[in-house]
Amino acid sequence: AGGFGGFGTTTTTAGSAFSFSAPANTGTTGLFGGTQNKGFGFGTGFGTTTGSSTGLGTGLGTGLGFGGFNTQQQPQQTTLGGLFSQPTQAPTQSNQLINTASALSAPTLLGDERDAILAKWNQLQAFWGTGKGYFNNNIPPVEFTQENPFCRFKAVGYSCMPNNKDEDGLVVLVFNKKETDIRSQQQQLVESLHKVLGGNQTLTVNVEGIKTLPDDQTEVVIYVVERSPNGTSRRVPATTLYAHFEQTNIKTQLQQLGVTLSMTRTELSPAQIKQLLQNPPAGVDPIIWEQAKVDNPDSEKLIPVPMVGFKELLRRLKVQDQMTKQHQTRLDIISEDISELQKNQTTTMAKIAQYKRKLMDLSHRTLQVLIKQEIRERAGTPSRRTRSSCEFSWTQFSVN
């Protein structure tokens, strides 16, 4: 049925209602207890995760406290998800490489000339990025996906790098709801997220921005402010807040609220950018990757990202179309503002001309009043001296 009920229940079935009621707590073990992944994103899924163990020693807060983040770094694993659409993982096992090579070049399934035809068919599947490559009766077939190195449906685009600091505390939550629903229920959303954080009174959830995404999704950027008893406050670091959201029980509560993706919005360090640029994503030809770096129109703000498969290309087209619509909407608003300002300017110019005419009329009236006042003051006073002076001046003028 319609309405906005049924959101945040403990059932696992997807409901059609929409509400930001408090999700069921599945047993939180502390706001930042346990090892979590830290990430940073472009707002559409570009991120690097770093394993960390967060200890909460001293700090501003108590109870759930976001203070005193004594972070101990552990071995890192770099992933390029979302925009990169595939993780950069450790090298695949040698037997998998051998099986792939055998399926593409020397299958021994039939033992005759048909194996050459099967090899070409496997190559076609690998180029297409879908299907199974049979090559031996005793070994399972190779699964060909669009992430395999031989897939031909790949391209390289560019994405804008964020410039926010970790101290800004910006975390992106993508909701599977329309922007109008999110805005109408914004206060309930804030209260629900506060309950997800444990309901700590020293923490305040703030909404930085709301943006529409394709496929009726909405991006909400939030940050959390922690206040201490002595009156000071600070923003919770983005990586710390993201690590809390990535806990299994917290993630379940966010999913009940309609969150499909969470990520931090922090800038990349020079070392991370260097690592990303030096290591081409899996399946992308190093020559193409190098050329993409050369063709980068703004290496300070943009970073190359691969597009693998038609789905990723379609997704980026939808994002670009959505961004174009937002730009057009903003241009329309600016155009309306300019038209309104032009009308105001015309009205103002007319008023200025009117006031100038009034000023001229008032000046004439003032002059007339001064003349009449002067006449009244001089009425009845002798004017011989003045008349004699005038006659003398006229005589001198006539002589000359």
pLDDT at 83: 40
Conformational region of residue 298, where left means phi above 0, alpha means psi within -120 to 50, and beta covers everything else? beta
pTM over the 0.85 mark: no
pLDDT digits (tens, 9 = 90+) for 95-141: 778 888 888 998 988 889 999 999 999 999 998 888 999 988 888 99
pLDDT at 192: 92
Domains, the chain, ordered by start: 92-144 (no CATH), 158-310 (3.30.70.3310)
> What's residue 2's pLDDT?
38
For 162-179, how does the pLDDT look when each residue is reduced to its tens digit (9 = 90+)? 888 999 999 999 999 998
List pLDDT tens digits, range 76-101.
Answer: 333 333 343 344 444 455 777 888 88
**Predicted local distance difference test score (pLDDT) of residue 220:** 94
- Most confident of the following: 62-66, 214-218, 267-271, 336-340: 336-340
- Report pLDDT for 383: 59
pLDDT at residue 230 is higher than 70: yes
63 versus 301: which is more confidently predicted?
301
